[in-house]
Structure 1
Amino acid sequence: MADRDEESYESAGASIPEPVKEPAKVPDETTDLTRGKTSRREEAYLTLGIIYYGGHVAHWVWLQVQEQLFPLVQPYT
């Protein structure tokens, strides 16, 4: 059957048709990491995480600063 297809194209002088191109895929908004953008869901999770843990982290940093600075300031008081 393949021989008949080739013969019909050759005898008619027509060229072999090009393969059909698939339509471009629309990128999924949840995984658009190729352009460095984050999805709205990821942004929401990051924002909520910063709001929830931000106070705890800031308090921990403040305690660490006090522990480091207290021995330096103690001789002057």
Structure 2
Amino acid sequence: MADREEEFNESAEDQVPDPVAEPDKVPDEPVFDHDKMSWREEAYMTLGIVYYGGHIAHWVWLQVQEQMFPLVQPYV
């Protein structure tokens, strides 16, 4: 029985953290980095912008017309 008590236990629960070790550092770089994106991610984003860009631009144009019409109507 005495031998079992002297055996080294490698479980994470029993280990004491090293006070000298540096804590995990948070990277200063942004999570969204264009330099580290794969070509698939870049293609996916480009296709999304191309597809939805026209729809968004059209919606914005309609909103501008809707807001500007009452202002321009007296002069027409």
TM-score, normalised relative to structure 2 = 0.51
SS across alignment from 1:68: helix
Between the two structures, name the one with larger relative contact order (CA 8 Å, sep ≥ 6).
1
2:50 matched residue in structure 1: 51
Q: Max radius of gyration: which structure?
A: 1
Task: Give 1:51's aligned amino acid.
Answer: V
Q: How many residues align?
A: 45
Which of the pair is proportionally richer in helix? 1
Q: Quick one: percent identity of the two aligned structures?
A: 73
Per-residue deviation, 1:39: 2.3
Name segments (4+ residues, structure 1) moved above 3 Å: none
SS across alignment from 1:57: helix
TM-score, normalised relative to structure 1 = 0.51
Segments of structure 2 that go 5 or more residues without pairing to the other structure are 1-29
